[in-house]
Structure 1
Amino acid sequence: MAELVIKNLHVSVDDKEILKGIDLTVASNERHALMGPNGNGKSTLLQAIMGNPKYIVTQGSISFDGQDVLSMEVDQRSKCGLFLGMQYPSEISGVTNSDFLRSAINARQEKPISLFKFIKQMDKAIQKLEMKPDLAHRFLNDGFSGGEKKRNEIVQMMMLKPKLAMLDEIDSGLDVDALRIVSDAIDEIQKETQMGLLIVSHYARFYEYLKPTHAHILIDGKIVVSSDASLIEKVDTQGYEWIENEYHVQVKKEEVSSPVSLGSCGAKKVA
């Protein structure tokens, strides 16, 4: 069983400490919802796990499947089974989706994937995500709408079959129908691979589709409360300010000035 274990993680960006001691464990086949007001460190956590050099780990440890993640380069983290569905996917003109994905798959295994098998798997993923049939031949995210970019991240996830997928507001930019399509695809690939999931979202409906097994609230660089999926409903109805009284932490007023429903802020971005 692949397990992500984070202990006392501190991360700085531009000499400013963002994460101030994160402890978190995500095991195979679990679904963890990571919530919190904008600008409190959710995206920073995912970027640090994946190895973005802008995010400097100053203290603590990250291990995955018994391996020291912090000692790995970014490509090694991907090869060992980590995947990040990005909040802002990059556009890469001149590189087709098929070339990108076939290279990524071949980098993970000793024997290159056969062209027939690759085409069959990619066609299946494209159909599952209800994307245009010419996706394989289009340049990576070039000219894509916001929703197409997010669905293309899930196509990549379906093809690469990671052991742990981290999804950073993968639902933003998706309409209701696309939200259901993406959720169904995530559900299908997890059942097939037993991968763990760490999901950042502000959208209650997305969590309703995915049915997380665990939920966490991250405030000012720390996970202040963890529970089951009932925590999502409490945040959806009461916002985050109740945490101040119950857990004696300060919610940043510039981020949340009044209780905000999860369902009403699905299009918001993490600062």
Structure 2
Amino acid sequence: MRDNVKILHPKDFSIMDAAAVKEKFGVPPEKVIDTLALMGDSSDNIPGIPGVGPKTAVGLIEEFGDLDTVLREGPAKKKGKLAELLATYKDQALLSQRLVTIELHCPIELNLDELKLQKPNVDALVPLYRRLEFRGLADKLAAPQAEHLFTPESEKQVSAYKTIRDLHELDSILKDMETRHEIALDTETTSANAIDASLVGISLSSGDGNGWYIPVGHIEGNNLPMADVLKRFAQFFNSNTKIIGQNIKYDRQVFRNHGLHMDNLAFDTMIGAYLLDPGKR
């Protein structure tokens, strides 16, 4: 952090300047690296010096000025266990200092003009938002001059959602899925806890307006034989078709409970949503 650099916190979008850093860490920005080198940071696997916590680390930096001076003069000037720790874990503190130091000389090719905020490309965004079913964003972005982008009622795609009733139909659907670049998958189960959950049904979709549901464990109504369905999905999970899902790690664990491994898992929309807006719950 410098006079012209501030930090945007991803959780609440607050802006941290030098004063905020001093309040959080107890030292100014230029001393944070040396402080972390002493106290460590378990979240980033920074070892630091065992037994040296935040309060002690800040006190050492305030007294000696920097890490090198702490390690050089600290063992002689401090007493008892702390002096022993500074001497014993000198190399570990220096390693920690290197680990927490951000590399500022990476070879990055960047055109700053391309990062400037520009007006949205309405002609491209509205159809994209419609396709991804971001209806609120599409409605908000759409303007009178973009009305031609909305699909006329006569051209709207007819939705086709169907429950699979026999294995021959399932075979046909999975064969078609294996020709697709990517598909969406979801499961219905007996528990919110993935470890304890058993399959009740499987949903598939290959695009806008279509979807298939395969019942396998409903208490009432007809189900396809669980073993036969799982055998077919075991083969499908070895195909080149990429699988996308919401919190897909849950579905992957459910299939693992039944002995299947989802080798073609590609993307989790829940993770994508967090990356787009990490401060939102």
Interval containing the TM-score (normalised by the shorter chain): under 0.3
TM-score (norm 2): 0.24
Give the greater-gyration-radius structure (CA): 2
TM-score (norm 1): 0.25
Structure with the higher fraction of residues in strand conformation: 1
Structure with the higher fraction of residues in helix conformation: 2
- Relative contact order: is structure 1 or structure 2 higher (C-alpha 8 Å, sep ≥ 6)? 1
